[in-house]
Structure 1
Amino acid sequence: MNIIISNTSDEPIYLQIVNQMKEQILKGQLTDSQALPSIRNLAKELNISVITTKRAYEELEKEGLIVTVAGKGSYVAPLNREMLREAKLKMVEDALAEAVSTAKMAGLSLEELKEMLELIYEE
């Protein structure tokens, strides 16, 4: 698992952890039932507070992405395939919304944007 903490980010550290772990789970880089580092080990590895990593794990657990077994540790939760598809659709929608916004700022027409999308999709 690869997590990079940015001290210059406006995003709180626990959210940086949550977002990066969530992305790795959704992309399949962290797989169903894979053991995660303990809260203490992750805190030590990232050189941050145990409270911060605990908060990140709690947030991931609330979202149903990880499960914690008392005395055994935390694991990637088996993902519901429909939930996974919805999460990926949301990622695509967000990226497209950003692309549309940028295209509008650049003065591109809808037809030009569609043409670009078709070219990129066919590559």
Structure 2
Amino acid sequence: MEIIISNSSGKPIYEQITSQIKNGILTGVLTEGEGLPSMRQLAKDLRISVITTKRAYEDLERDGFITNVPGKGCFVAVKNPEFLREESLRMVEEALQRAVDAAKTGGVALAELQDALALLYEGE
């Protein structure tokens, strides 16, 4: 999996790493037990500080996405279906909040927003 860092993004680099790895796990690009690059290797590849990659990996481990095996490295954690559903729901809520904010700014009524969501969800 390739991680792309944007210096023009408003997100800190460790959050960009975290969100891309989470997305890779949620979409199945990264599978259970798959090894991740070492913190030092990832820092070298991305040309960033090891402290930054350490923070990203610590956040991923805290959130249950990866496990750290001392002396062996970091691996994608065994999937907990409830946890993955909660994380997906959180991501959907964030996207919907951005849509609601844009709708309010543009003067789009709630009924119109609901209709648009229904059309998108049904794939039409």
* TM-score (norm. length: structure 2): 0.90
Shift of 1:9: 2.7
Q: Which residue of 1 aligns with 2:70?
A: 70
Q: Which residue of 2 aligns with 1:7?
A: 7
* TM-align CA RMSD: 1.4
Secondary structure of the residue aligned to 1:84 is helix
Render the CA deviation track for 1:10-44: whole Å, top value 9, x for unaligned: 32222221121112112222111111011111111
Q: Distance in 2 between matches of 1:63 and 1:93?
A: 18
Residue 58 of structure 1 aligns with an amino acid whose one-letter code is E
Gaps of 5+ in 2: none
1:75-94 maps to which residues of 2 (within 5 A)? 75-94=75-94
The alpha-carbon distance between structure 1 residues 88 and 110, as it changes in their structure 2 partners (threshold 3 A), is same
Q: Distance in 1 between matches of 2:83 and 2:41?
A: 29
Q: Which residue of 2 aligns with 1:57?
A: 57
Equivalent residues, number: 123
Q: Distance in 1 between matches of 2:28 and 2:67?
A: 16
Q: Distance in 2 between matches of 1:21 and 1:78?
A: 15
Identity value in percent? 58
Gaps of 5+ in 1: none
The answer to whether the aligner puts 1:45 opposite 2:50 as a matched pair is: no
1:100-115 maps to which residues of 2 (within 5 A)? 100-115=100-115
Residue 44 of structure 1 aligns with an amino acid whose one-letter code is K
Residue 34 of structure 2 aligns with an amino acid whose one-letter code is Q
Shift of 1:55: 1.9
Render the CA deviation track for 1:27-78: whole Å, top value 9, x for unaligned: 2221111110111111111111222212211121111111111111110011
Point out 4+ residue stretches in structure 1 off by more than 4 angstroms.
none
Residue 27 of structure 2 aligns with an amino acid whose one-letter code is K
* TM-score (norm. length: structure 1): 0.90
The answer to whether the aligner puts 1:29 opposite 2:37 as a matched pair is: no
